[in-house]
Structure 1
Amino acid sequence: MNNLSFPRPLHSEIGERLRVEVREFLDDWHGDRHAAATFGGFDPEFSEALGQRGWIGMGFPKRYGGGGYGLMERFVVLEELLAARAPMFAHAVAERQSGPLLLRFGNERQREEIVPQIASGKCYFCIGLSEPNSGSDLASVRTRATKVDGGWLVNGAKIWTSSAHRTHYMILLCRTAPASEVRQAGLSQFLVDMSTPGITCRQIVNIAGDADFNEVHFQDVFLPDDALIGVAGEGWQQVTSELTFERSGPDRFMSHMGAVEEFVAVLKQQPSSEGARTVGRLVAHLSTLRRMSRSIATMITEEQEAGLHAALVKDLGNCFEQEIPETLRLVLQTEPEPDASLAYSAALANVILHAPSCSIRGGTKEVLRGIIAKSLGLR
């Protein structure tokens, strides 16, 4: 049975100095805060500005363009960017998980050519995992890469692929060997240039009116041999390692804090004991999740297995973010309107529309709780 204790997070004096620098940078930044009160703003100019300061890929080795910092320093910078609702989605996926994946499993060409571009804030990634008609059953991958002379030929489709229409690369999970009794066997990952002939992106508009998602089709897409990431057939182990980064960070419980911030601003003008209790409850939950998330950064730094702990943070973060709009509505009787002049009303409308997706992205609640149960020997 796994040990569920979270270690004491590393303290970083450098990180706390960085916190001040990031706040000063954000105060001087003349771009717009993302109106959605989440981290979903896509702003290449902002991403490049962060890259110039060494605030992307902070944990990457210096030889690959990294800043020479640790994961705790990265945590501090990310936390400040999320708190300020900074528009960082352009580089977020590449920096959070694609870069670390290439550093761990990629070949030297991939590391030398791609990772420094990520650190510069000029290279964006999407993740090709989910497929049409497969739900959350990731092991049922049907997109196939067939070995041919000099490379692989890919056919199939992916869905719910965030920003695929405006990213440079995809990390693609597909089947390279026939399915067997071990459903997770025979899967491999590839680095895919999104400008490759045969790739078609069809945008999907969600209930909030955003068109970030895509359905991506591959028709006889040729990938050279050196597009393979790691070892053929070991894609499942690689992707589960990658998901630890996706599930454990503060973006999994801070993306709706903009609405809480606007709620507090209104509450200052309309104080109440119920409002004070609500703020206290939310802050207590946030503080707990923050401590857990920082501890996972410590575990990764010490090369400990953190998949179970990441699933716990993601599941609790789902619940917390979905609780926020309903909790706030019980205190302030404000009509949520996406285009309202009142900042709180607009932020509330946005989180109401986006809250359902919290329990899907990065793994559904059912998948996460299955991981937890299996790790505890309960299934």
Structure 2
Amino acid sequence: MRLALNVGYWGTTGTDDLNGMLALSKAADEHHYDVVWLAEAYGSDIPSLTGYLAAHTQNVGYGAAIMQIPGRTPAMTAMTAATLDRITGGRFHLGLGVSGPQVSEGWHGVRFADPLGRTREYVEIVRQALGRKNVEFHGKHFDLPLPDGPGKSLRLLLLPERDDLPIYLASLGPKNLALTGEIADGWIGIFVSPEFLPEQLAVMGEGRQKAGKTMDGFDVVASIGISVSDDIDVAADRLRAHTALYVGGMGSRDKNFYHALATRMGFEKQADHVQDLYLAKQHRDAAAAVPREFIERTAMVGDSEAIRARLRAYAKAGVTTLAISPWMDSLEERIELVGLVARLMDEEGLRSK
């Protein structure tokens, strides 16, 4: 199992400054992590931060978790990915996702219609461009070059570091999971539970089979919150507000993909209650209502021995890259946690060579 670090967005990592994000990335580099994953929504963007952090680290790779499909044309995404792959010496991982209706339509002005079809076309165009083929695509969502003007089929000018740069999809629902297996090189999962993961892998495996592929070489990335304390309630409490935001407030009542995931995992009544409180702007009550069992199943909380046991569980369940999000009370504690997880992984013999 490879080890990765998820530093999220600039300003929301708990450090609230760029120096903190850099310090965590340097710690990951020092402890031989494979990838530092970054995120974007409607604040900091991934490419700018990747370029900055990569200039200050030596060996660690960088990943987009995720660059938003409605925010860039597929050709621009290919240009950006190729540039970052050159900058990092072939260590960039391109994660893509459609975001959600509120961001897609409210921020980017792109209708959240047929997300699966849009994703399929988008990935195909990105692959054409990264393969330095003359880009030509005529689909439902994208038409390149436009058929009624002076546009011509163009080829990416920059020679990419790799023409097979890996493309990941962030997906939650069954149809999107199947599409991920079919057209992507890896999956970025959130709120991943070792107990529920086999069901998700089976769906992705069906997609792989449809494409004439197996799960061999397919990267299963689990983005996992981690909080260490001898008191498990203290450890779990650090993740409550974050969990409530996603399950209760990341989307509308009718379309919240994280709420739907919690429901499929068997937490329907609890997810409904958290959502009711969150949408009523009772955010503290919503956080308190998140069941500890859900946090224990979808994160790593407790003392070092509890963390050690969950590391084994994730590896056994089929995770190939574990991307930790440290949730501690200070930057210093988060940096220490980066080192602790690396040590535990090595002691258990879980780290991929």
TM tier, smaller = under 0.3
Q: TM-score by structure 2 length? A: 0.27
Q: TM-score by structure 1 length? A: 0.25
Structure of higher CA gyration radius: 1
